Amino acid sequence: MRAFLREAMAKSLYDLILEARRLTNTQRNLFVTNPEIGDWVNKGIKALYDAIIEADRSYYNTTQDYTLAGTSDATAQAALPADFYLARGVTRFPDTRNARPVFARNFTMHDIGGQDGGVFGGGEPGYLFRGNNFTIVPYQAAGSGPWRLTYVPKAPQLNLSAVVPIAVTPGVDGAATGGASEIRITTTGMSAGQSVFVTGTADPGNSGEFVITNVLDGTHIQVNPFCNSPELYTSAVTVNLGLSPSARLDVTMDNYDSVPSLWAAIRIMEKKKQGAEELSALLGQELSRVAAITSGRAAEPEAAPVLWAPSNYPLAGYGPFGSGNDFGP
Q: Phi/psi zone of residue 113: left (φ > 0), alpha (ψ -120 to 50 degrees), beta? A: left
Tell me the helix, strand and coil percentages in the chain, rounded to 5: 30, 25, 45
- Whole-model pTM above 0.85? no
User: What's the CA gap between 97 and 319, in Å, rounded?
Assistant: 16
What are the Cα distances from residue 329, in Å, to 91, 298, 311, 313, 323?
22, 32, 17, 15, 6
Q: 235: helix, coil or strand?
A: coil
Q: Which residue has the higher pLDDT, 293 or 86?
A: 86
- Considering 11-15, 41-45, 69-73, 196-200, the range whose residues carry the highest mean pLDDT is 41-45
- pLDDT at residue 20 above 60? yes
pLDDT digits (tens, 9 = 90+) for 203-257: 888 888 888 888 988 888 888 888 888 888 888 888 888 765 557 788 788 889 9
pLDDT band at 323 (very low <50, low <70, confident <90, very high): very low
User: What's the CA gap between 49 and 257, in Å, rounded?
Assistant: 11
Amino acid at 247: A
Phi, psi of 83 (to 5 degrees): -100, 15
Q: Phi/psi zone of residue 324: left (φ > 0), alpha (ψ -120 to 50 degrees), beta? A: left
pLDDT digits (tens, 9 = 90+) for 30-89: 788 888 998 999 999 999 999 999 988 888 999 999 999 988 889 999 999 999 999 999
Phi, psi of 95 (to 5 degrees): 65, 25
Which strands form 62-66's sheet, in the order they lie side by side?
62-66, 147-153, 84-92, 100-104, 126-130, 133-137, 77-79
Q: Which residues of 202-212 are buried (b: 16+ CB within 10 A; e: fewer)?
A: eeebbbbbbbb
User: What's the CA gap between 270 and 240, in Å, rounded?
Assistant: 28
User: What's the CA gap between 64 and 82, in Å, rounded?
Assistant: 11
Contact 22, 238 (CB under 8 A): no
Which strands form 174-175's sheet, in the order they lie side by side?
163-166, 238-242, 195-199, 208-215, 220-224, 182-184, 174-175, 231-232
What are the Cα distances from residue 195, in Å, to 31, 99, 128, 185?
25, 46, 44, 13
Task: Give the DSSP H/E element, type plus range, for residue 178.
Answer: none
Please name the residues in contact with 304: beta carbons below 8 A apart, sequence gap of 6 or more: none
Q: State residue 78's pLDDT score.
A: 95
User: What's the CA gap between 53 and 292, in Å, rounded?
Assistant: 12
pLDDT band at 300 (very low <50, low <70, confident <90, very high): low
Q: Per DSSP, which regions of 131-269 are E strands?
A: 133-137, 147-153, 163-166, 174-175, 182-184, 195-199, 208-215, 220-224, 231-232, 238-242
Q: State residue 119's pLDDT score.
A: 46
Q: State residue 196's pLDDT score.
A: 85
pLDDT digits (tens, 9 = 90+) for 88-125: 999 999 999 999 999 888 766 666 654 444 444 445 78
CA angle (105 as vertex; 103, 111 as ends), nearest 5: 120
Task: Give the DSSP H/E element, type plus range, for residue 85.
Answer: strand 84-92
Task: Give the DSSP H/E element, type plus range, for residue 294.
Answer: helix 277-297
Q: State residue 120's pLDDT score.
A: 44
Q: State residue 280's pLDDT score.
A: 94
Q: Which residue has the higher pLDDT, 167 or 151?
A: 151
User: What's the CA gap between 173 and 231, in Å, rounded?
Assistant: 9
Contact 135, 76 (CB under 8 A): yes
